[in-house]
Amino acid sequence: MIAQKFRPLVNIIPTATIALATIACWFLIHRFKEGEHISQEEMEIHSPDVVMLSGAKLDAANLESEPAQSQPIQEVFVVPGRIQYDEAKHIEVKAPMDGILAEVLVLPGQPVELGQLIAVIRSAEIGQSRAAIVKQEQQRQIATRTLQRETTTANNLSLLTSMLDEGKSIQSIGDSLNSLELGSYRQEILSSYSKMLLASELLAKIKPLANSGSIAGRLFRERETERQLAETAFRTARDQAMYQAEQAKLKAAADLAEAERQCDLAWKTVEDLLGYKEDRGNVRLDSEAQLSRLEIRAPIKGYLESRAFSNSERISRGESLFVLANTDSFSVTASIREGEWEAVSLQRGTVLSVSIPALNHRLFPAKVHYVGREVQTETNSIPLVATLENCDSLLRPGMFVRVTIPKGPLRYGLSIKQEAVVQHDNQPFVFLDMKRDGFKKVDITLGNSTDDWVEVTHGLKEGQLVVTRGAFLLKSELLLKGETE
């Protein structure tokens, strides 16, 4: 009876025992792992490579972290160079001929515009050249009037021959063409035409008599022959006059063209001496002073760097008068040596980085102008010339620079910010942000670098948080920790 009463309880005990045993095992295992985890954590915290900061010190440090990430990497090398004037924008203005420096209108350091008058020279040579222009201009005017006259004569002659072909009388022709220009052709043609008309009238008068037998047939034939000869003479004179008139017009046109060429050559001779084009329509050539006046104008926009003469000084052909320079841009010249030739693949327009020590190593962009082909035997190098804009007017010719030149293709590599890298005993390292108020020192191996990034070839994985701002403070804390230990 009692056994039957406690039989359900007996059946439950094994099951409960098993459950309690399972819970106990789980609790023991969990406590063991938790203790192991705490031990590892304590080991990391007390590791000599880990820096721990208190809350106040952490807030004051104002640390920043960024993940290591893939960035474009360009291998580069640095060569020394110099800033020089752009050859096309640095011009020495020389005296084109002998003379007297009558006026100097600018001073060194003053800005000048393109074409601005900067000096005046009095020169007999330029006066003679301008006098040749005056002579050739007069010849051109004569040739122009001659062509106009010959053209008018030829046109009037065509009108005369048309009236003659119509058989009009001398009186009517004279009345129509009396005021027109015909030259000597009027007399030659009208005289032969008059003789032809007279012979025709005589023949017409004796023709009835010849038909009636009143006069001998021989006389009629003589009159007819005379009329034919008169007509032939007229047509010959007319054709000859037309030919001569056309030839005279062509010759006048050729003379005018030659006069214009000579006049243009005279102008070009003067402009070659001047070094600039004159306004031919407005230049004055009516006095000796104007003829001998030689104006020196600025060939470029820029600044007057220097001048060699003062007012009223005598100058000779080829002597340097002024030096003009445009400083809006400069050239950067450098040499690429033999060991770097194969690594360099520069195209015109490639942007380079130029560091200027005199300006606290400030960086300026420069565009490649050309890379030389010929090897300089003295230095066994090839020249590199780049264009550098002088936007802030800080650059000066002759400044020493360092030119950073890319080599090889662009590639990608694991990179961190430059300020994240610190060193001790020539070993670079970074601090990993462990997110538990601890920062672990990790030694790294560096690769190529840019202005902002540095490649890490060993020691980091992509995505790991690296302390950027405040890395030097952590280094100090780490060294201090090492001393106290």
Question: pLDDT tens across 359-393, in order?
Answer: 998 899 999 998 888 888 888 888 889 999 988 88
342 pLDDT band, cuts 50/70/90, is low
Which DSSP string do the residues of 321-339 spell out, in sequence order? EEEEE--SEEEEEEEEEGG
Burial 385-420 (b: 16+ CB within 10 A, else e): bbebeeeeeebeeebebbbbbbeeeeeeebbbbeeb
- Alpha helix segments (H runs only) across 166-216: 170-177, 185-212
**Position 23 pLDDT exceeds 80:** no
DSSP state of 87: G
| pLDDT over 50 (residue 6) | no
Question: Which pLDDT value is given to residue 344?
Answer: 64
Model confidence at 290: pLDDT above 80: no
**131-154 pLDDT, tens digit each:** 888 888 889 999 999 999 888 888
Sequence-ordered strand ranges (E) for 215-263: none
Task: Return the pLDDT at 111.
Answer: 92
End-to-end CA distance of the chain: 77
Query: How many Å apart are CA 295 and CA 315, to the nearest integer?
Result: 14
User: Is the separation of the CB atoms in 175 and 199 below 8 Å?
Assistant: no
pLDDT over 80 (residue 93): yes
Given a cut of 50, is residue 61 above it in pLDDT? yes
Query: Can you read off the two tokens belonging to residue 450?
Result: 């840019």
Candidates 54, 66, 48; CA nearest to 456 is: 66
Residue 289 CB neighbours (<10 A): 11
Q: 306-316: per-residue pLDDT in tens?
A: 888 888 889 88
The residues with which 320 forms a beta bridge, in sequence order, are 94
| pLDDT in the model for residue 252 | 92
Binning pLDDT at 50, 70 and 90, where does residue 232 land? confident
pLDDT value of residue 253: 92
pLDDT at 280 over 70: yes
DSSP 460: -
DSSP code of residue 482: H
Residue 163 has pLDDT above 90, yes or no: no
**Dihedral pair phi/psi, residue 7, rounded to 5°:** -60, -40
**pLDDT (tens digit, 9 = 90+) per residue, 451-471?**
788 899 999 999 999 999 888
Provide the mean pLDDT of the chain: 81
* Res. 2 pLDDT band, cuts 50 70 90: very low
Do the beta carbons of residue 278 and residue 268 sit within 8 Å?
no
- The mean pLDDT of 382-409, rounded to a whole number, is 87
* Closest C-alpha among 378, 382, 401 to residue 342: 382
4 versus 349: the higher-pLDDT residue is 349
Least confident of 23-27, 79-83, 468-472: 23-27
What CA–CA distance (Å, rounded) separates 289 from 303?
30
- The CA angle 217-218-220, to the nearest 5 degrees, is 65
Residue 421: the pLDDT is 92
- Least confident segment among 9-23, 25-39, 199-213, 448-462: 25-39
Find all residues with CB under 8 Å of 247, minimum gap 6, and list them. Answer: none
Q: Would the pLDDT of 441 be above 50?
A: yes
Q: Report whether pLDDT(11) > 60.
A: no
Say which residues have a Cβ less than 8 Å from residue 53's Cβ, sequence separation at least 6: 61, 437, 439, 477
Q: Which residue has the higher pLDDT, 4 or 355?
A: 355
Structure tokens at 164: 């003659």
Among 84-98, 182-196, 223-237, the minimum mean pLDDT is found in 182-196
More confident residue, 207 or 421: 421
What is the arithmetic mean of pLDDT over 91-98?
88
For 5, residues 6+ apart whose C-beta sits below 8 A from its C-beta are: none
**343, 408 contact by CB (below 8 A):** yes
Mean per-residue pLDDT for 30-54?
Answer: 57
- Is pLDDT larger for residue 285 or for residue 316? 316
* 3-class DSSP assignment, residue 459: coil
CB 323 within 8 A of CB 305: yes
User: Is the dihedral angle over the CA atoms 279, 284, 290, 292 positive or is it negative?
Assistant: positive
How far does Cα 406 stand from its chain's mean position?
A: 25
